[in-house]
């Protein structure tokens, strides 16, 4: 049986039971594990987006939990105007901002203090993250949560952007490990008009991080609308041998599959990820890396435990010569370079 706890000042999605893909958040996807535990809900919007308008807006809300909770499931429901949504655990900000305001994308993920960390990233209309047995996120009483929405109205009429985020807390005695998230990819994208191209990189784990004991249990690939495929493999070195961990067929950029691994897998010490993103540039414009829906990205996010903190990790050959550089933030002196790319 589930007990529902609502943030009463933000329960504002009574717009006809969730029209336009917004949903009420009460039901998980049809093929998902059953929802269980005490549910704590936060709501984003609705915010009216004008035709052709694109941007990123954030809100900061306190969860209505009066005691520490262990969150084992997170369920997001998005309207069709949302390009993607990032939910952050925020231990730095203290003041709520209930009306969405313009914000810089991914600044939470790239926060160098580690005080703001992603919990879930999604661009699906209805997405449920269920952590492995005995694994959870720990949220303190009245945890501040930052919700970042990148929205785009590609229609010729105003639309409402809205989302619900439901956190399901379980009995703490059933939890042994803390979860976290890795966001890994490359900004080295440059696609000529009409060109079909694959960006193929190898991210080598920096010496200051050891993921060999980490257990990665889910991966989601991410491109924008020109993306036709994402492939991810793990290996002890750039020369292999390679083990496939993400290769959905077909790949859908707008509803990318989340591949779960049971049992989870690790990354060999000093090894890394071999990954590639393929594109077909159907426009008459040169397309490069960027957060805009008219630019492109080549990233994947991986959920893992036990936690070593959330990390944004990048391989780029824009610095460091032919071998490029491998950076994980926070924790590297080169993080300022990576922050400037977003």
CATH of residue 131's domain is 2.60.120.310
What is the residue whose two structure tokens read 């939990």?
65
Over range 215-241, report the average pLDDT: 94
Q: Give the pairing type, strands 258-265 and 215-222.
A: antiparallel
Residues 230 and 85 in one domain: no
- pLDDT of 99 strictly over 70: yes
Give me the pLDDT at residue 20, please. Answer: 31
**In this structure, what token pair is assigned to residue 134?**
């005995």
- pLDDT of 155 strictly over 60: yes
Give me the pLDDT at residue 82, please. Answer: 65
Give me the pLDDT at residue 26, please. Answer: 55
Give me the pLDDT at residue 208, please. Answer: 87
Over range 226-245, report the average pLDDT: 96
Residues 77 and 190 in one domain: no
Give me the pLDDT at residue 31, please. Answer: 66
Give me the pLDDT at residue 111, please. Answer: 59
Residues 145 and 207 in one domain: no
- Supply the CATH number for residue 271's domain: 2.60.120.230
Of the candidates 139, 161, 111, which has an alpha carbon nearest to the alpha carbon of residue 40?
A: 139
Residues 312 and 185 in one domain: yes
Range name among 81-90, 164-173, 235-244, 251-260 with the lowest pLDDT average: 81-90
- pLDDT of 303 strictly over 50: yes
d(CA 171, CA 179): 16
Residues 189 and 170 in one domain: no
**Domain encompassing residue 134:** 4-177
- Answer with the one of 150, 177, 204 that is the final residue of a domain: 177
Residues 189 and 143 in one domain: no
- Answer with the one of 138, 160, 177 that is the final residue of a domain: 177
Of the candidates 80, 64, 78, 50, which has an alpha carbon nearest to the alpha carbon of residue 10?
A: 64
Range name among 23-27, 305-309, 336-340 with the lowest pLDDT average: 23-27
- pLDDT of 313 strictly over 60: yes
Residues 58-98 have pLDDT tens digits of 999 999 999 999 999 999 998 766 667 899 999 999 999 99
pLDDT band at 12 (very low <50, low <70, confident <90, very high): very low
User: Average per-residue pLDDT in the chain?
Assistant: 86
Residues 172 and 300 in one domain: no
Share of the chain above pLDDT 90, in %: 58
Q: How many domains does the chain have?
A: 2
DSSP code per residue over 55-105: EEEEEEEE---SS-EEEEEEEEEE-TTEEEEEEEEESS--S-EEEEEE--T
- pLDDT of 3 strictly over 50: no
Residues 59 and 138 in one domain: yes
Residues 211 and 297 in one domain: yes
d(CA 300, CA 244): 14
CB atoms closer than 10 angstroms to residue 201: 22
Over range 18-29, report the average pLDDT: 43
**Neighbouring residues of 339: CB distance < 8 A, sequence distance ≥ 6:** 107, 110, 112, 329
Over range 11-28, report the average pLDDT: 36
Give me the pLDDT at residue 27, please. Answer: 62
CA dihedral 32, 35, 41, 44 (to 10 degrees): 10
- pLDDT of 134 strictly over 50: yes
Residues 56 and 105 in one domain: yes
Residue of 297 and 15 predicted with greater confidence: 297
Give me the pLDDT at residue 220, please. Answer: 92
Range name among 7-11, 299-303, 304-308 with the lowest pLDDT average: 7-11
Give me the pLDDT at residue 125, please. Answer: 85
Over range 89-118, report the average pLDDT: 82
Give me the pLDDT at residue 277, please. Answer: 98
d(CA 313, CA 91): 21
Give me the pLDDT at residue 249, please. Answer: 93
- pLDDT of 123 strictly over 90: no
Residues 316 and 185 in one domain: yes
- Answer with the one of 177, 204, 238 that is the final residue of a domain: 177
Residues 145 and 107 in one domain: yes
Residues 174-218 have pLDDT tens digits of 999 999 999 899 999 999 999 999 999 999 999 888 888 899 999
Over range 104-109, report the average pLDDT: 67
């Amino acid at each position: 049986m589930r007990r529902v706890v609502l943030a009463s000042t933000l329960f504002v999605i009574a717009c006809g039971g969730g029209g336009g893909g917004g949903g009420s958040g009460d039901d998980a996807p049809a093929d998902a594990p059953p929802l269980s535990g005490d549910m704590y809900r936060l709501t984003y919007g609705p915010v009216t987006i004008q035709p052709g308008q694109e941007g990123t807006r954030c809100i900061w809300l306190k969860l209505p939990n009066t005691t520490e909770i262990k969150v084992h499931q997170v369920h997001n429901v998005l309207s069709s105007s949302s390009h993607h949504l990032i939910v952050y655990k925020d231990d730095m900000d203290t003041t709520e901002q209930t009306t969405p305001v313009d914000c810089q994308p991914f600044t939470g993920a790239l926060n160098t203090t580690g005080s703001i960390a992603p919990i879930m990233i999604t661009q699906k209309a209805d997405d449920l993250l269920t952590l492995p047995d005995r694994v959870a996120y720990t949220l303190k009483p009245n945890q501040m949560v930052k919700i970042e929405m990148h929205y785009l109205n590609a229609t010729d009429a105003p639309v409402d952007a809205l989302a619900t985020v439901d956190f399901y807390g379980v009995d703490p005695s059933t939890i042994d490990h803390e979860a976290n998230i890795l966001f890994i990819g490359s900004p080295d994208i440059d696609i000529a008009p009409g060109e079909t191209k694959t960006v193929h990189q190898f991210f080598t784990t920096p010496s200051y991080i050891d993921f060999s004991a980490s257990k990665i249990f889910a991966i989601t690939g991410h491109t924008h609308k020109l993306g036709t495929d994402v492939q991810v493999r793990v290996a002890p070195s750039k020369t292999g041998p390679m083990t496939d961990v993400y290769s959905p067929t077909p790949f859908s950029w707008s509803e990318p599959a989340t591949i779960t691994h049971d049992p989870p897998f690790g990354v060999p010490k000093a090894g890394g990820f071999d990954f590639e993103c393929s594109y077909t540039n159907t426009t008459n414009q040169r397309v490069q890396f960027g957060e805009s829906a008219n630019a492109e990205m080549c990233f994947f996010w991986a959920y893992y435990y036990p936690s070593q903190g959330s990390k944004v990790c990048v391989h780029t050959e824009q610095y460091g010569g032919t071998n490029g550089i491998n950076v994980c933030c926070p924790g590297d002196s080169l993080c300022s370079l990576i922050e400037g790319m977003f």
